[in-house]
Structure 1
Amino acid sequence: MSTAHDVTRRQTIADYELLDDPPEADLQGLVQLAATICGVPTAVINIIDDRFQHQIAAVGFTAAVCSREDSMCAVVLEQPGRVIVSDARLDDRFSANPFVTGVIGNVRFYASSPLITPAGIAIGTLCIFDEEVGELSPEHAATLDILAHQVVDVLELRRVTRELQTSNHELEQFAGRISHDLRNPLMALSGFIELAADSPELADAPQASRALARAEAAADRMSTMISDLLDFARVGGEVPRVAAVDVEDVMAAVIDDLDTPLAQTGATIEVDAPAPVVADPTLLRGLLQNLVANAVKFSATTSDAPHIIVRVEPLPDGSRITVDDNGPGIPEPQREKVFGLMERGDQTDVAGLGIGLSTCRRIVEGHHGRIGIAESPAGGASVWVVLPHAA
């Protein structure tokens, strides 16, 4: 009968999706390395659930499956730790084991190091053995532990990569649905704006004509941004259209798009961008628009009118962009948390879903850059972005 611990172990093993795949080259290489360094002919990675021992990579023999009752490693896995046995025939734990008695094998020297996941769950061992009595030096024993850690790292990398692929597929499907939902009303809006702009009654209303022209330009930019961000979601963060971008030009479009919230809050924007930035122009505009809109929204909660400063600082191998505001700032313990999806820190009284900074991080990481938050000279938040020249 399975215990709660066995159930947890089985679920963890299932998360790694190991048991139905052929041996992975990285795992096979680690097994070969363990055997070579420790000077033994045989080594194996054993994954042990509540019923079986699964040999997922092996050198010196053909990997197979045996019952947990026959497994030598299952005996030591109950209290995980490094185990070294010079002669298994003389060890009470193994002397009657079929791998020792000749029923399955004739193991004499045995050593293993547990495979412990980041959650602290032991799922198996990296095991070396020989049909001759042997010893393992302290240096080689430490190496066995290191290689066992490397095995878990490979398993974690497989798991995370698979989850990211699933996440990107789901994101692509979501982006496709939401872009369709956004494009339809946007196309209708653009059509109405175009009809209104062509109306003869506007000939004597230059102010209305200018407003409609700006609205039409904003609708066009939004349509382009929806298409490009959908492409961005599909490629999982790759940025295929990087170029040298003038941030002052980008900020002119951002300020135009944010005209209403800027006017409502009395916000002022200062731009100091003496050098171009290597980036995807549309994604850079989305990044800066999110950062500036966030800065305006949160700074407006204070008594002073928001004042936002966007700076570009050339670096030896890239560019640093900072967006400073004079708002309430973000406490240091929350500066990493707010980049999570649907996170807004302590500012729960401000409208919004908390997607902006998460989107910003995705855009920056798609450029192989970095993003973070510090305190601005004005006492508010300073969001910094470092983008490499070679994205």
Structure 2
Amino acid sequence: MSAAGTHSGYDLDDPRERARLRALRDFGLPDGEHPAADDLSALVAVAAAAAGVPTAAIHLLAGDEQRALATVGFEIAALPRRDSMCSIIVDEPRPVVVADAREDPRFSANPFVREGRIRFYAAFQLRTDADVSIGTLCVFDDRPHVLGAEQRSLLQALADRVVGVLELDRRVRALSDEVRALEEVRAGLRADNESLRAFAGQVSHDLRAPLSTMTLSLELLGVGLAQGWSPPDLEPVLARALRGATRMRGVVENLFVHATGAPASPHPVDLGSLVEDAREDLGPALDGVDVTARALPVVVADGPLLRLVLQNLLSNAAKFTATEHGGQVTVTASRRDRSWLVEVADHGRGVPEAERERVFEAFARVGEHEALAPGTGLGLATCRAIIEAHGGRIGLRETAGGGATVWFELPDPR
């Protein structure tokens, strides 16, 4: 119901207007009914009673509109700033009290004043702690009126209380946001702790078997040496201990790459030689599986890291191929425009299409594969980290005739 004739009172380039809009956003205003609407309505009713008038409002100046946050005696929610009386005096340093608006040149042309709907007008600025005026607590009447000093003091206290209510709500909302954020962090930490607990258990499981093999083999080796066994008798015991050490090294290498990333130092390496190295490292893990490497090229890669990729892929392929009934694993490479495409194919159970991306996530285990071939769930995640460190890509598709083919692409500008 406040108005100002042709005066718009709104200039977005005015620093005061920008500060006002920022303050309103901080308060979450204006944006529908305020959570403290009942308290604000009560304050407006008290303001009207204190001034001895039938109408009062809390007006906010937001952009090119004046919006009523709470009212008593009328129900105008919003009107243009050009018709706002409050817009004229919102940045005045002190409250404005006009006994008869028809006699005040600032307001005499206002349509509400000309129509006789407003004669008495008093506005008390709503100032934030940062001294930004976001609107007014105003009281008005269609008859001239005078406010006494005590009434002015009470209305000023009510205006301050309005800002206090808004500030309290802002702080409550901020605190609620912080509590929600902390709850999310706590939930994330709880999930991380569960993952770490499961991971620690799985790593312990994976290390326990090769460590037991090494321990028993070394103990047996000690017995053999004490009893004077011949070298041919000692060799299989020593070989068993070395295989246990190799398996432990594979687990540790995967952990290291996962924890530190995979800083690659590419140089020309023979892919065929790396496959042979990986086969030798895996040893008995490949029993019953025929690994065939077909005409593998020299590629540009970090040799030790690429060997770890091949070791993981051959180990995975062997687990699931051997689980079926024994079978063949094939390693092939084909030239692309500026890269090499390397594929490791098995003919085991394969991986459902919906799970083919997830298997490259750390700690991911897919359905029945977990029971068939327990592990840390780091192997393929390690492979992806290494291949991406080389600027390449890695993926999984179905092998023709059944099974899984893991492929990776290595850039090679030569």
Q: TM-score, normalised by structure 1?
A: 0.50
Q: 2:229 is matched by which residue type in structure 1?
A: E
- What RMSD, in angstroms, separates the aligned Cα atoms of the two structures? 5.2
Q: 1:238 is matched by which residue type in structure 2?
A: A
Aligned residue number for residue 369 of structure 1: 392
Q: Distance in 2 between matches of 1:358 and 1:311?
A: 21
Q: Deviations over 1:272-316 (max 9, x none)?
A: 25322333333322222222222222223434x311001122333
Structure 2 residue corresponding to 1:313, chosen from 334, 341, 362:
334
Aligned residue number for residue 132 of structure 1: none
Judging changes above 3 Å, is the alpha-carbon distance between structure 1 residues 245 and 381 closer, same or farther for their aligned structure 2 residues? same
Aligned residue number for residue 232 of structure 1: 257
Judging changes above 3 Å, is the alpha-carbon distance between structure 1 residues 71 and 371 closer, same or farther for their aligned structure 2 residues? same
Structure 1 residue corresponding to 2:64, chosen from 69, 87, 93:
87
Contact 1:88 1:107 in 2 (8 A): no
Q: Which runs of 5+ in 2 are unaligned?
A: 1-10, 36-61, 69-76, 92-125, 136-183
Contact 1:197 1:213 in 2 (8 A): no
C-alpha displacement of 1:60 = 6.5
Q: Distance in 2 between matches of 1:273 and 1:197?
A: 44
Q: 1:88 is matched by which residue type in structure 2?
A: E
Aligned residue number for residue 117 of structure 1: none
Q: Give % identity.
A: 27
> 2:366 aligned with 1:344, yes or no?
yes
Contact 2:278 2:311 in 1 (8 A): yes
Q: How many residues align?
A: 267
Contact 1:193 1:216 in 2 (8 A): no
3-state secondary structure, aligned to 1:72: coil
Highest RCO, 1 vs 2 (Cα 8 Å, sep ≥ 6): 2
Aligned residue number for residue 333 of structure 1: 354
| Rg (Cα) greater in structure | 2
> 2:270 aligned with 1:246, yes or no?
yes
Q: 1:275 is matched by which residue type in structure 2?
A: P
3-state secondary structure, aligned to 2:312: helix
Contact 1:317 1:388 in 2 (8 A): yes
C-alpha displacement of 1:389 = 4.2
3-state secondary structure, aligned to 2:405: strand
Judging changes above 3 Å, is the alpha-carbon distance between structure 1 residues 86 and 298 closer, same or farther for their aligned structure 2 residues? same
Question: Which runs of structure 2 are paired with 1:98-117 in the superposition (5 Å)?
Answer: 101-102=90-91, 103=126
Q: 1:257 is matched by which residue type in structure 2?
A: D
3-state secondary structure, aligned to 1:343: coil
Q: 1:289 is matched by which residue type in structure 2?
A: Q
Q: TM-score, normalised by structure 2?
A: 0.48
Q: Deviations over 1:351-381 (max 9, x none)?
A: 3146133333333334343221112134221
3-state secondary structure, aligned to 2:229: helix
Q: Which runs of 5+ in 1 are unaligned?
A: 1-38, 44-58, 79-84, 109-158
> 2:405 aligned with 1:382, yes or no?
yes
Question: Which runs of structure 2 are paired with 1:182-193 in the superposition (5 Å)?
Answer: 185=211
Judging changes above 3 Å, is the alpha-carbon distance between structure 1 residues 336 and 73 closer, same or farther for their aligned structure 2 residues? farther
Q: Distance in 2 between matches of 1:228 and 1:348?
A: 21
3-state secondary structure, aligned to 2:341: strand
C-alpha displacement of 1:257 = 3.2
Judging changes above 3 Å, is the alpha-carbon distance between structure 1 residues 329 and 77 closer, same or farther for their aligned structure 2 residues? farther
Q: Distance in 2 between matches of 1:72 and 1:94?
A: 16
Q: Distance in 1 between matches of 2:354 and 2:79?
A: 51
Judging changes above 3 Å, is the alpha-carbon distance between structure 1 residues 212 and 240 closer, same or farther for their aligned structure 2 residues? farther
Aligned residue number for residue 39 of structure 2: none
C-alpha displacement of 1:384 = 0.9
Q: Deviations over 1:131-172 (max 9, x none)?
A: xxxxxxxxxxxxxxxxxxxxxxxxxxxx99xx9xxx8xx98x
C-alpha displacement of 1:383 = 0.9
Aligned residue number for residue 296 of structure 2: 274
Q: Distance in 1 between matches of 2:216 and 2:21?
A: 64
Contact 1:193 1:215 in 2 (8 A): no
Contact 1:225 1:282 in 2 (8 A): no
Judging changes above 3 Å, is the alpha-carbon distance between structure 1 residues 353 and 230 closer, same or farther for their aligned structure 2 residues? closer
